[in-house]
Chains A and B, each alone.
Chain A
Amino acid sequence: MTAIVEPSGAVAPAERAADPGRAAAAATEAILADTLDGAHRGVVVDSPPGAGKSTLVVRAARELAAAGHPLMVIAQTNAQVDDLVDRLATADPQLPVGRLHSSEPRPYDPMLDRHPSVRTSAKPADLAGQDIVVSTAAKWAWVSAEEPWRHAIVDEAYQMRSDALLAVAGLFERALFVGDPGQLDPFSQVGVEQWTGQPHDPSTSAVSTLLAHNPALPQHRLPVSWRLPASAAELVSDAFYPYTPFRSGTGPGDRRLSFAAPADGSPVDAVLDEAADAGWGLLELPAARTPRTDPEAVGAVARLVHRMLEREGGTRSERDGGADGPGSALSADRIAVGTAHRDQAAAVRAALAELGGVNGAAAEVTVDTANRLQGREFDVTVVLHPLSGRPDATRFHLETGRLCVLASRHRHACVVVCRAGVAELLDEHPATEPVQLGPVSPAPDGWEAHQAVLARLARHRVRLE
């Protein structure tokens, strides 16, 4: 079903060095050298979760601008664009940055208005002369340029569909493509089998098409995840990035999660303590076939969040004085709940409001689907397992990217809530998709990735009877 994509040997030798910081810096230098002076029209950078992709994009953009190359930046969502513009303007308050936006009401985040050097407009002509112009692929597609940009940066290129790249590729001469191959693949609501395996399948990712047509382009990868703790990097790397392994920027014990109030003896508290200690926790409910919004599982998710806040969690990490430093409180905005479906997210939100009141702290917790959590970072995440309580394992629920996103948002710990019996469910549902000739996927098989994650979680299991 999937072919192995070998990295093209562009991995810096320094990566094997002991110091993750030096390995990451060496990789970044090699990427910038190829981008600024390379002979190729494109450079591809694979970035695992939290490997400093945004930092790289900001740095590459600033260096290109400083070298006198005005450039366009293409991101996929408005939130990503706003975040990038904010980072660019924060990194260099003098840098003239243009934010091209739609003509809808509230087209961009008002926080951008506090940067004097950022100009916003719905008309590309208003932004002519800005060193850097940032917008979504959807908006760029409506722009027609008389003279193409010399340079472009395409952010989240693995989440961009090939046809979206086709619509904007005429706007630039050369580009740096940055993205995370392990996250959710782009998809289409209609059948696309007729193009499967062809180099320009419009529903595949922009990077797949780019590399199919330009196999000689240099491919780099960022070797260190600064977000994932040592406990998570190994599992996420093995399960979701078997062909492009990465490591954690911090070692075991460099980060700590603890709770001020002692456990009350309940399974919920026990699994929180396990997760604080080991980085992973599995709260297992008795096997059952349930509706998607399984009331017991949703209730357990809400109680986990509630207890985390009630027990006054605190985190210590390299950001605030190291493992023995003063640390920071685990506030509601540092916690996220991830689900597979929107109705599950809505059910969790309702349960949280019921437990802690509509204006309680728990209502501040981010609750969203994997699709919307992509690219975001939290201290602790609570995940409702995509296969929990299901009678079948569909392609949607098996998709590697979905589980990968859910399992790689946290800096400290991740607690998974799941009905028992998922391993058996997986065994009963081997992949039945017809084999197609030709498609190349950088992601491993979803079935295998699910088994790897389950096997690891089983070591941190607490049963909720």
Chain B
Amino acid sequence: MSLLSALARMEAAACGRARPVATVRHRHLATNPLVLVPLTTAGENGAPLGVMLGTDRSAPEVFTVPQPRDRDLRFAFLGRLAEAMLPHLESCQDEVELVERKETDPETGKRVTVEAELCADAPQVLVPTGPGVDFVRLLGRSMRFRRTAEEDPGAEHPAPPRVPLLGRWLTHYGERARVPGSSLLLSMTGLLSRHWATGQSQLEDQHLGALLAWLAPPDGLGGAEAALRAELGRDARGQLLVPPAGPATDPAFDNELLAPAIARYDKGVPGAAQEVHELVASQLRPTWEAMWQGVDLLRALPEAAHVPDRWRRDRQSYTHHRDRLRAAEPPQPRRDDAVTAARKLAMREQRQAELDAQEALDDPLVMAVRRLAGEAFLAEVLEVEMAYSDGKRPSPRPLVTVHTQDVPLLSDGDKLHRQLPTGAQQRAELVEMAGPGEYVLRLVGGMGRGKEPAPGTVPEKGDLMCWTLFEHAPRGGPGLPEPEETPWTHGGPPGEPSAERPDPVTAEDVL
């Protein structure tokens, strides 16, 4: 935890209200996000109990399973879920823009520019909590290897049409959610705690009700009191006033209300299915309202400058998945091979570094965190001395003496970076520590190609600017071998890619 967020938490605890830790919104928020509130059955991770979903806060759809252990009912539920979610997930597939992309020509091996489609927008899915994101991933895993009657006429328990397809979409969204800064699938607790600090622990912040209690305490209550009420408050029947945001349910609800209702359904009592439906819906609705309250809070923040850049990558990811589906490729494999895993890790590390840099550039409050950590400093220019590099074509290498009151962790030769007013990047290196807080930097880039620096690229005496020790657009690593060239150290080539076999039906599947 950074010094500033610790301070914000202490301030929040002292004043009883959440404190901002960001001045802008660092994640994309769609105009019409699909809000998805799933619940699962206690002790049966892969058995959904019900879901409330939709893009319209006043008209959510609710699906429930009266007996979650019944495989047929579960698949009927997943079939309905697919019919409800797929139109949204597929809604952005056809509106595209054409972009240029560098690609390696498979015949000549040269880098050539090709024109590619990029979907103009991508559907966003919001779930309440981090475990909700995991549940989306789990649903994806449980569905994508199923076979429909059409795919496998001999299957004993064919999945409803489109269920495997939904599995592939959810898998893609779940996997994309692991990429730092991505916004295709986000959790509300993650979004809110990125932008506000509460007076409770990070663990407690994972309770959506308690988190919102700090952000918008009901009249007359302090944050701590309201959060405690959200966590523990129960009505006369012993039921939580604010049910958990899932996917787990409250044991008191399970034991006292849900289990008897499911037992009545098992016995064939008329109306029992409806009873389960209403019970589950009663647990879903408060979270549904909380989700939209969170959306409202986030909408009040202006979007950060780099968010569209990162959202463009989400759109690319969405477009790639669309292309793979259209090319009738097999579902995502159960496990990554060595090369795919290494590529994913390299990409995510690059995105993480980029996200950290962009958030700091977009938001003075985030930059303050980096300044306090000694990774950036705000400096005033004391003097600029023009100098040139040696060599046949001398380039400008001005020496800039700056003074800062921050305490950067610098040593000789360190590279420094700053954003020019045009948005371009400028690099410098530390030449000398001239005195307390006084540094001599040599500008080494961002001044154009000419002998004289481009206008506005060299600071002037008295200018105030923020230098960072971290790069703003970190480069990617070197290429990795193709999977079919996996070296012996990593087990050799994974063999012919073949469509993975569907999951076998086990005794637990059919009760």
Stretch at the interface among A3-11, A208-216, A448-456: A208-216
Contact indicator A165/B489 (Cβ below 8 Å): yes
* Contact residue among B338, B352, B409, B478 (Cβ-Cβ distance under 8 Å from A202): B338
Separation of A214 and B487 alpha carbons in the complex (Å): 12
**Cβ B478 vs Cβ A200 within 8 A:** no
Contact B409 A346 (CB under 8 A): yes
Q: Does the CB pair B490–A170 fall under 8 Å?
A: no
Q: Is the CB of A213 within 8 A of B478?
A: no
CA distance A201 to B342 in the complex (A): 8
Closest A residue to B444 using CB positions: A105
Is there a chain B Cβ closer than 8 Å to A436's Cβ?
Answer: no
Task: Kindly state whether residue B501 has any CB partner on chain A within 8 Å.
Answer: no
Decide yes or no: A163 and B336 within 8 Å by CB, A209-B489, A213-B490 being known contacts.
Answer: no
B-side contacts of A141, CB under 8 Å: 477-478
Q: Is the CB of A166 within 8 A of B345?
A: no
Residue of B nearest to A292 (CB): B3
- CB contact list, A320-373 vs B, under 8 A: 342-343, 346
Do B478 and A188 touch across chains, with their CB atoms under 8 A apart? Answer: no
Chain B min CB distance to A96 (Å)? 26
Most buried by B among A41, A213, A343: A213
Instruction: Indicate whether A189 reaches chain B with its CB closer than 8 angstroms.
Output: yes
- Per-residue interface assignment for chain B, residues 472 to 495, with 1 indicating a CB less than 8 Å from any chain A CB and 0 otherwise: 000001111100011111111000
Nearest B residue to A143, CB-CB: B478
Type the 1/0 row for B148-180, where 1 means its CB is closer than 8 Å to any CB of A: 000000000000000000000000000000101
B residues in contact with A162, CB < 8 Å? 342, 490
| B326 interface contact, C-beta 8 A | no
Task: State the Cβ distance, A150 to closest chain B Cβ, in Å.
Answer: 14
A198 proximal to B (CB < 8 A): yes
Chain A nearest CB, measured from B354 CB (Å): 12
Question: Contacts A190-B349, A195-B341, A201-B341: A170 and B487 contacting too (C-beta < 8 A)?
Answer: yes
A199 and B491 within 8 A (CB): yes
B190 within 8 A of A: no
Shortest distance from the beta carbon of A252 to any chain B beta carbon, whole Å: 40
**Chain B contacts for A266, CB-based, 8 A:** none
Report yes or no: B178 in contact with A191, Cβ–Cβ below 8 A.
yes
Contact with A along B328-345 (1 / 0, CB 8 A): 000000011111011011
Q: Once the chains are docked, how many angstroms separate the CA of A206 from the CA of B485?
A: 18
- Which residues of A sit under 8 angstroms from B488, Cβ to Cβ? 41, 169, 213-214
Q: What residues of chain A lie closer than 8 Å to B490, measured between beta carbons?
A: 162, 165-166, 169, 200, 209, 213
A72 to chain B, nearest CB (A): 14
The docked-state distance in angstroms from the alpha carbon of A170 to that of B351 is 27
A203 within 8 A of B: yes
A218 to chain B, nearest CB (A): 15
- Cα-based distance from A190 to B489 in the complex (angstroms): 24
* Distance A41 CA – B352 CA, assembled complex (angstroms): 36
Indicate whether B308 reaches chain A with its CB closer than 8 angstroms: no
Whether a CB of chain A sits under 8 angstroms from the CB of B348 is yes
Q: Does B413 contact A (CB under 8 A)?
A: yes
The answer to the question of A401 belonging to the interface, with a C-beta cut-off of 8 Å to chain B, is no
A96-132 interface bits toward B, Cβ cutoff 8 Å, 1 = contact, 0 = none = 0000000001100000000000000000000000000
Interchain CA distance A141-B178 in the complex, whole Å: 26
CA A5 to CA B88, docked complex, whole Å: 51
Q: Enumerate chain B residues within 8 angstroms of A342, measured Cβ to Cβ.
A: 374, 409
In chain A, positions 156-170 with a C-beta closer than 8 Å to chain B are 162-163, 165-167, 169-170
Q: How far is the CB of B371 from chain A (nearest CB, A)?
A: 13
Taking CB as reference atom, which chain B residue is nearest A172?
B487
B335-A163 in contact (CB<8A): no
Docked CA distance A57–B363 (Å): 49
- For window 304-361 of B, CB contacts with A under 8 Å fall at 335-339, 341-342, 344-346, 348-349, 351-353
Q: Is A48 located at the chain interface by the 8 A CB criterion?
A: no
Within the assembled complex, what's the spacing in Å between the Cα atoms of A302 and B429? 30
Interface residues in A40-78 by Cβ distance below 8 A to B read 41-42
Q: How far is the CA of A170 from the CA of B493 in the complex (A)?
A: 12
Query: Please, how many angstroms separate the alpha-carbon atoms of A162 and B487 in the complex?
Result: 12
The answer for the CA separation of A213 and B227 in the assembled complex, in Å, is: 50
Interface string of B487-508 (1 = CB under 8 A from A): 1111110000000000000000
Contact present for B348 and A190 (CB under 8 Å): yes
Q: State whether B478 touches A198 (Cβ < 8 A).
A: no
Docked CA distance A459–B163 (Å): 66
Measured between alpha carbons, how far is A194 from B177 in the docked complex, in Å? 12
Looking across the interface, which residue of chain A has its beta carbon closest to that of B494?
A200
A202 engages B487 (CB within 8 Å): no
| Whole-angstrom CA separation of A175 from B489 in the bound complex | 10
Contact (Cβ within 8 A) B345 A210:
no
**Which residue in B352, B480, B485 is a CB contact (below 8 Å) of A190?**
B352
Q: Is the Cβ of A167 less than 8 Å from the Cβ of B489?
A: no
Task: Tell me the A residues contacting B by CB distance below 8 Å.
Answer: 41-42, 105-106, 138, 141-142, 162-163, 165-167, 169-170, 175, 188-192, 194-195, 198-203, 206, 209-210, 213-214, 342-343, 346
> Which positions in B face A, CB cutoff 8 Å?
178, 180, 335-339, 341-342, 344-346, 348-349, 351-353, 373-374, 407, 409, 413, 429, 477-481, 485-492
Question: Can you give 13 A-B contacts (C-beta < 8 A)?
Answer: A142-B478, A162-B342, A162-B490, A166-B486, A166-B487, A167-B342, A170-B487, A190-B352, A194-B336, A195-B345, A199-B491, A213-B490, A213-B492
